[in-house]
């Protein structure tokens, strides 16, 4: 018996909506990464993109446990000399909550060409509205 390997032309993609309101950042990110990667499908193949599209709404209502909002730092570099920047997650969630979720999901997918292709299927929106109604996205529940 041979191991089944999915082929890119055989993959059927769905659209899912995750409501992040009141959910923990890590749980939302890990569930989104799982859907993007395609690990919820029986045809999962590690070297092929078999995942689905994911829309995350209510990014501004995501929460962090403990004192992570004040103590955890979001760090980046501007690529100029002395360009190291850092802000805490409380400030980041007020100003750019989409970026906090994107960074968390990015850390959970492969860091290679396949990961970059997978990451392009993620859409994060601050509020409850999104412009992807034509794709008929299905709601995806996260058990907290």
Q: Residue 34 sits in a domain of what CATH number?
A: 3.90.1180.10
pTM of the model: 0.94
21 domain residue, yes or no:
yes
83 domain residue, yes or no:
no
Structural domain tally of the chain? 1
101 domain residue, yes or no:
yes
130 domain residue, yes or no:
yes
72 domain residue, yes or no:
no
**What range defines the domain where residue 29 resides?**
15-64+96-139
- Rounded mean pLDDT of the chain? 96
Q: Which residues fall within 8 angstroms of residue 120, CB to CB, at 6 or more apart? A: none
- Residue 143 has a pLDDT of 83
Rounded Cα gap, residues 74 and 90, in angstroms: 10
120 domain residue, yes or no:
yes
What are the DSSP calls for 55-116, one per residue?
EEE-GGG-B--TTHHHH-EEEEE-SSTT-EEEEEHHHHHHH-HHHHHHHHHHTTS-SSHHHH
- Residue 79 has a pLDDT of 97
CA-closest candidate to residue 57, choices 144, 113, 139: 139
- Residue 1 has a pLDDT of 81
- Residue 47 has a pLDDT of 95
79 domain residue, yes or no:
no
76 domain residue, yes or no:
no
List of the chain residues with pLDDT < 50: none
């Amino acid at each position: 018996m041979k191991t089944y390997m999915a082929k890119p032309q055989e993959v059927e993609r769905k659209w899912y909506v995750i409501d992040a309101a009141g959910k923990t950042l890590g749980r939302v990110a890990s569930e989104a990464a799982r859907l993007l990667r395609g690990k919820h499908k029986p045809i999962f193949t590690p070297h092929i993109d078999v995942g689905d599209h994911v829309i995350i709404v209510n990014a501004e209502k995501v929460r962090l446990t403990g004192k992570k909002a004040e103590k955890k730092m979001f760090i980046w570099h501007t690529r100029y000399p002395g360009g190291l920047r850092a802000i805490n997650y409380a400030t980041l969630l007020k100003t750019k909550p989409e970026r906090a979720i994107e960074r968390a999901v990015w850390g959970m997918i492969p860091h290679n060409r396949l990961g970059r292709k997978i990451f392009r299927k993620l859409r994060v929106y601050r509020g409850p509205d999104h412009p992807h109604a034509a794709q008929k996205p299905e709601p995806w529940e996260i058990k907290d």
